[in-house]
């Protein structure tokens, strides 16, 4: 299931506690972000929990992410969390093959 991340600090942190969680940071006007969200990520949602973070609206989650990976100057950004910690980060668009390798 793909869902929008919690807008509270505590809520977002609790969402990251799963075995593996893929987070997409996006903006509504970003075309590569929309392709990821609507065409690529649905292909892997049965294999991993997916959270999306609107960088223009969800400042609490964005602050948590930036504290973990550094500043985000462009989107999309994909972050793979495993057992509550950052396991991998990718900045920029990805194909389905790229995402499948990324979440392994």
Could you give the percent of the chain with pLDDT greater than 70? 100
Closest CA to 81 of 51, 41, 43: 51
Look at residue 93 in the predicted model and tell me its pLDDT.
Answer: 95
pLDDT digits (tens, 9 = 90+) for 25-49: 999 999 999 999 999 999 999 999 9
- Are 33 and 27 in contact by the 8 Å Cβ rule? The answer is yes
Domain boundaries, position 46: 2-102
The structure tokens listed for 44 are 């892997």
Domain holding 38: CATH number? 3.40.30.10
Q: Is the pLDDT of residue 97 over 80?
A: yes
Confidence (pTM)? 0.92
Interatomic CA distance for residues 56 and 58, integer angstroms: 6
Interatomic CA distance for residues 30 and 19, integer angstroms: 29
Q: Is the pLDDT of residue 9 over 80?
A: no
DSSP alpha helices (H): ranges in 1-104? 9-15, 31-35, 59-69, 96-102
Interatomic CA distance for residues 41 and 100, integer angstroms: 9
Please tell me the total count of domains within the chain. 1
Look at residue 1 in the predicted model and tell me its pLDDT.
Answer: 83
pLDDT digits (tens, 9 = 90+) for 63-96: 999 999 999 999 999 999 998 899 999 999 999 9
């Amino acid at each position: 299931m793909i869902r929008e991340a919690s807008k509270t600090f505590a809520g977002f942190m609790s969402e990251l506690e799963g075995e593996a969680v893929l987070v997409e940071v996006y903006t509504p006007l970003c075309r590569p972000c929309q392709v990821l969200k609507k065409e690529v990520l649905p292909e892997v949602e049965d294999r991993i929990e997916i959270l999306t973070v609107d960088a223009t609206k969800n400042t609490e989650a964005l602050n948590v992410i930036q504290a973990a990976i550094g500043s985000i100057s462009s989107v999309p950004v994909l972050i793979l969390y495993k057992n509550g910690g950052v396991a991998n980060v990718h900045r920029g668009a990805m194909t389905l093959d790229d995402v499948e390798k990324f979440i392994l």
